[in-house]
């Protein structure tokens, strides 16, 4: 029988994993929408407005999913982890409060105008609303990453009677891992959306939708993907070096390096780490590469897991297999992203028979087929990355300050288990519905006539039509 601690951990992991899927989309999709809107205003080309109208639906859906799954998070601290706020509430509290005050209201209010206000407000106000929603989601990312990073690399506080008290807010906000984590996450969001747009557009293209807006979205998606992925690989590398400095036990687990401290540490490509024997089974490794990547010298020493076992045998490093594999899934997905996006861009750069470049037609069908499953590759990489860093923080909740087991609520295990099962069932159903609706919107969009004007049916006409329908009359022509 599992105990309250592990069940509460799984429950929090389930909630936050489900939640992060949607902000990962909305953070960058907001900026993509602003891009589409501005392109439309500058060029007057309706394909950009068409792209905006399609993707704003996906945005609205993702935003709603993000909001409601986020409300759950604000309750979880109290229901399952009261020790967290009791110990570090003086630090976490103001950061969360600033997130709610500066970001949540901004996005929640302006999304109404952004979605439903197009014909009610002047164009500039609608564009401003789109900007403020994108800005709000990004600001919210900033605050939550500040708090999360502080939990990994805490500073700027002192402990008085078992509770952390802030001494230097500047040091708390700009804690050592914050800039790396923030950059890494924002780029992850950008890549997730770039591949979502490219993948859905490839899907529409393969189903015979030849609209200009599909071409334009596809080019934008692939272009940003190809641009962002090298930046992300660089950001990941510097973030890893930062982790090496501040949380060496996490890096040791990522590399599954049990005992090697003499330099020339091999890069383990495949292994089944064995926690009991404290060694890897079925290991396939490249000599010296881990040392080279992490220290940029072939003979550089990297931390080993055995260094993080206390005298009495207490293990002070995270579970190795989970961190090791999450990290490999993230890196593997990133490599696939690099391959697919660069191949696509190179193939598109070939000159078409009519002399133009950047034609979707130049992309071979197998590549288009490969792009479709890549639509959700960003989710895989983002989740795997978060698992690496969060499981990698175990057994700490706040590195060196608070361990997970002393923060958990004393709720009976069956209660945690039953609510956990409830959440899982709901999340599975909603995830299925979400992906189905995106597929359905993509299929349905094919039958929409290309957009040629901005004048919608007037509100009065709509009300009239509804009123007539209400009285059982045929809609007026």
List the interface residues with another protein, window 359-418 (CB under 8 A): 409-411, 415
Among the listed residues 41, 93, 270, 369, the single contact to another protein using CB under 8 A? 93
Distance of CA 292 to the CA centre of its chain: 29
Torsion (CA) 309, 270, 18, 83 in degrees, nearest 10: 0
Residue 110 is a binding residue for another protein (CB under 8 A): yes
Q: Would the CA dihedral through 250, 254, 255, 259 be positive or negative?
A: positive
Are 232 and 191 spatial neighbours (Cβ–Cβ below 8 Å)?
Answer: yes
Place of tokens 């029988």: 1
Place of tokens 């007057």: 44
Residue 46 is a binding residue for another protein (CB under 8 A): no
Instruction: Point out which span in 99-107, 231-239, 247-255, 365-373 binds another protein (CB under 8 A).
Output: 99-107
> Between residues 233 and 430, which has the closer beta carbon with respect to another protein?
430
Are 379 and 21 spatial neighbours (Cβ–Cβ below 8 Å)?
Answer: yes
Beta-bridge partners for 165: 158
* Helices vs. strands in the chain: H and E counts, helices first: 15, 6
Smallest distance, another protein to C-beta of residue 386, A: 21
Contacts of 32 (CB under 8 A, 6+ apart): 55, 193, 197, 220, 224
Tell me the C-alpha distance between 363 and 91, whole Å.
51
Other Cβ atoms closer than 10 A to 345: 17
> Between residues 245 and 448, which has the closer beta carbon with respect to another protein?
448
Among the listed residues 86, 158, 245, 299, the single contact to another protein using CB under 8 A? 86
* Closest by Cα among 126, 123, 179 to 153: 179
Residue 14 is a binding residue for another protein (CB under 8 A): no
Smallest distance, another protein to C-beta of residue 149, A: 18
Pick out residues in 452-471 that bind another protein (CB under 8 A): 454, 456, 459, 462-463, 466-467, 469-470
Among the listed residues 20, 65, 185, 228, the single contact to another protein using CB under 8 A? 65
Residue 96 is a binding residue for another protein (CB under 8 A): yes
Smallest distance, another protein to C-beta of residue 88, A: 9
Among the listed residues 100, 272, 286, 309, the single contact to another protein using CB under 8 A? 100
Tell me the C-alpha distance between 278 and 60, whole Å.
48
Among the listed residues 115, 315, 329, 413, the single contact to another protein using CB under 8 A? 115
> Between residues 332 and 450, which has the closer beta carbon with respect to another protein?
450
Is residue 401 packed enough to be buried (19+ CB in 10 Å), middle (13-18) or exposed (0-12)?
middle
Tell me the C-alpha distance between 351 and 293, whole Å.
38
* Closest by Cα among 24, 18, 62 to 420: 18
Smallest distance, another protein to C-beta of residue 409, A: 5
Residue 123 is a binding residue for another protein (CB under 8 A): no
Among the listed residues 10, 14, 16, 118, the single contact to another protein using CB under 8 A? 118
Cα atoms in the 13 Å half-sphere on the side-chain side of 80: 24
Instruction: Point out which span in 71-79, 199-207, 208-216, 295-303 binds another protein (CB under 8 A).
Output: 71-79
> Between residues 57 and 359, which has the closer beta carbon with respect to another protein?
57
Residue 439 is a binding residue for another protein (CB under 8 A): no
* Closest by Cα among 154, 63, 155, 151 to 111: 63
Tell me the C-alpha distance between 66 and 24, whole Å.
9
Among the listed residues 79, 127, 288, 405, the single contact to another protein using CB under 8 A? 79
Q: How is residue 282 written in tokens?
A: 């079925």
Helix/strand/coil (H/E/C) assignment for every residue in 353-401: CCCCCCCHHHCCHHHHHHHCHHHHHHHHHHHHHHHHHHHCCCCEEECCC
- Residue 245 is classified by DSSP as H
Residue 225 is a binding residue for another protein (CB under 8 A): no
Residue 432 is a binding residue for another protein (CB under 8 A): no
Tell me the C-alpha distance between 475 and 477, whole Å.
6
Instruction: Point out which span in 32-40, 72-80, 343-351, 380-388 binds another protein (CB under 8 A).
Output: 72-80
Residue 67 is a binding residue for another protein (CB under 8 A): yes
Strands 267-274 and 279-286: antiparallel
Among the listed residues 116, 234, 369, 432, the single contact to another protein using CB under 8 A? 116
Smallest distance, another protein to C-beta of residue 125, A: 8
Among the listed residues 24, 69, 130, 140, the single contact to another protein using CB under 8 A? 69
Instruction: Point out which span in 107-115, 148-156, 279-287, 396-404 binds another protein (CB under 8 A).
Output: 107-115
> Between residues 338 and 409, which has the closer beta carbon with respect to another protein?
409
Instruction: Point out which span in 30-38, 98-106, 281-289, 291-299 binds another protein (CB under 8 A).
Output: 98-106
Q: How is residue 276 written in tokens?
A: 């009991």
Binding characters for another protein, 153-192, by CB under 8 A (x = yes): ----------x-xx--x-----------------------
Other Cβ atoms closer than 10 A to 467: 10
Count of residues binding another protein (CB under 8 A)?
78
């Amino acid at each position: 029988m599992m105990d309250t601690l592990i069940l509460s951990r799984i429950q929090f992991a389930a909630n936050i994993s489900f939640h992060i899927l949607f902000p990962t989309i909305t953070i960058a999709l907001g900026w993509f929408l602003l891009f589409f809107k501005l392109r439309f205003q500058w060029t007057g080309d309706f394909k950009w407005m068409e792209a905006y109208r399609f993707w704003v639906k996906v945005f609205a859906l993702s935003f709603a999913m993000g909001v409601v799954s986020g409300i759950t998070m604000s309750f979880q601290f109290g229901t399952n982890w009261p020790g967290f706020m009791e110990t570090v509430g003086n630090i976490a509290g103001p950061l969360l409060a600033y997130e709610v005050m500066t970001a949540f209201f901004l996005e929640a209010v302006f999304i109404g105008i952004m979605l439903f206000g197009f014909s009610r407000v002047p164009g500039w106000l609608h564009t401003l609303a789109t900007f403020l929603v994108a800005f709000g989601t990004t600001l919210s990312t900033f605050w939550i990453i500040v708090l999360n990073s502080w939990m990994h690399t805490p500073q700027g506080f002192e402990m008085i009677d078992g509770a952390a008290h802030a001494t230097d807010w500047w040091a708390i906000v700009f804690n050592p891992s914050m800039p790396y984590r923030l950059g890494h996450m924002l780029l992850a969001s950008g890549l997730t959306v770039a591949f979502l747009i490219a993948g859905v557009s490839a899907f529409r293209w393969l189903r015979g939708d030849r609209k200009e807006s599909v071409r334009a979205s596809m080019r934008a998606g692939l272009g940003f993907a190809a641009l962002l992925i090298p930046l992300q690989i660089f950001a990941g590398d510097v973030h890893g070096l930062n982790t090496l400095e501040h949380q060496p036990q996490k890096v040791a687990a990522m590399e599954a390096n049990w005992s090697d401290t003499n330099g020339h540490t091999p890069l383990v490509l495949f292994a089944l780490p064995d926690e009991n024997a404290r060694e890897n089974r079925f290991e396939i490794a490249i000599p010296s590469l881990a040392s080279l990547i992490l220290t940029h010298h072939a003979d550089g020493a990297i931390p080993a897991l055995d260094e993080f076992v206390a005298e009495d045998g207490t293990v002070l490093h995270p579970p190795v297999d989970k961190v090791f594999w999450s990290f490999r899934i993230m890196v593997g997905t990133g490599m696939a992203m690099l391959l697919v996006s660069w191949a696509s861009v190179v193939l598109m750069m070939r000159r078409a028979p009519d002399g133009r470049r950047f034609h979707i037609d130049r992309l071979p069908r197998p590549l288009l087929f490969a792009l479709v499953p890549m639509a959700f590759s960003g989710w895989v990489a983002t989740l795997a990355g978060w698992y690496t860093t969060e499981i990698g923080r175990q057994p700490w909740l706040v590195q060196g300050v608070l361990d997970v087991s002393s923060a958990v609520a004393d709720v009976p295990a069956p209660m945690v288990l039953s609510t956990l099962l409830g959440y899982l069932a709901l999340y599975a159903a909603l995830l299925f519905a979400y992906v189905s609706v995106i597929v359905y919107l993509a299929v349905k969009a094919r039958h929409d006539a290309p957009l040629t004007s901005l004048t919608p049916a007037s509100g009065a006409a709509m009300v009239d039509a509804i009123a007539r329908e209400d009285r059982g009359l045929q809609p007026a022509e």
